[in-house]
Amino acid sequence: MVQLQALSQRNFLNTADLTLQEIQQLIELALKLKQGQSQASLAGKTLATLFFNPSVRTRVSFATAMFKLGGQALDISSEGAWAFEYRDNIVMNGATIEHVKEVAPVLSRYCDGIAIRCSELVTKSAESAKVGAWETAKQDIVLKSFAKYATVPVINMESNVYHPCQGLGDAVTIKEKLGQTQGKKYVLSWAYHPKALPMATPNSQMLAACDLGMDVVVAHPEGWELDPEILAVAQRRAEQSGGRFSISHDQDEALEGAQIVCAKSWGALKYYGQWEKEKELRVQHQDWIIDESKLQLTDQAHVMHCLPVRRNVEISEGVLDGPQSIVIDEAENRMWAQMALLATLL
- Closest distance between ligand CP and the C-beta of residue 159, in Å? 12
Rounded Cα–Cα distance for residues 325 and 315 (Å): 10
- Closest distance between ligand CP and the C-beta of residue 77, in Å? 12
Residue 301: name the closest of 324, 328, 317, 331 by CA. Answer: 324
Nearer to ligand CP, 55 or 259 (CB): 55
166 binds ligand CP (CB under 6 A): yes
- Closest distance between ligand CP and the C-beta of residue 197, in Å? 11
Using CB under 6 A, pick the residue from 15, 24, 49, 58 that binds ligand CP.
58
Rounded Cα–Cα distance for residues 233 and 17 (Å): 11
Nearer to ligand CP, 20 or 260 (CB): 260
Spatial neighbors of 169 by CB under 8 A, at least 6 apart, are 330, 331, 333, 334, 336, 337, 338
Using CB under 6 A, pick the residue from 56, 83, 283, 328 that binds ligand CP.
56
Nearer to ligand CP, 49 or 108 (CB): 49
- Closest distance between ligand CP and the C-beta of residue 258, in Å? 21
Burial of 208-241, coded b for 16+ CB within 10 Å and e otherwise, reads bbbbbbbbbbbbbbebbebeeebbebbbebbeeb
**Amino acid code (one letter) for 71:** G
Number of residues that bind ligand CP (CB under 6 A): 8
- Closest distance between ligand CP and the C-beta of residue 306, in Å? 4
In DSSP terms, 290 is beta-bridged to 315
Among the candidate windows 49-57, 69-77, 191-199, 221-229, which touches ligand CP by CB under 6 A?
Answer: 49-57
Residue 328, classified by CB atoms within 10 Å of its CB into exposed (0-12), middle (13-18) or buried (19+), is: exposed
Among the candidate windows 12-20, 50-58, 64-72, 254-262, which touches ligand CP by CB under 6 A?
Answer: 50-58
- Per CB under 6 A, contacts with ligand CP among 301-320 are 306-307
- Number of Cβ within a 10 Å radius of residue 110: 12
- Closest distance between ligand CP and the C-beta of residue 326, in Å? 14
* Element spanning 3, H or E: none
57 binds ligand CP (CB under 6 A): yes
Among the candidate windows 40-48, 52-60, 107-115, 221-229, which touches ligand CP by CB under 6 A?
Answer: 52-60
- Closest distance between ligand CP and the C-beta of residue 58, in Å? 3
Q: Are 221 and 193 in contact (CB under 8 A)?
A: no
Residue 219 three-state SS = strand
Contact residues toward ligand CP (CB under 6 A) are 55-58, 158, 166, 306-307
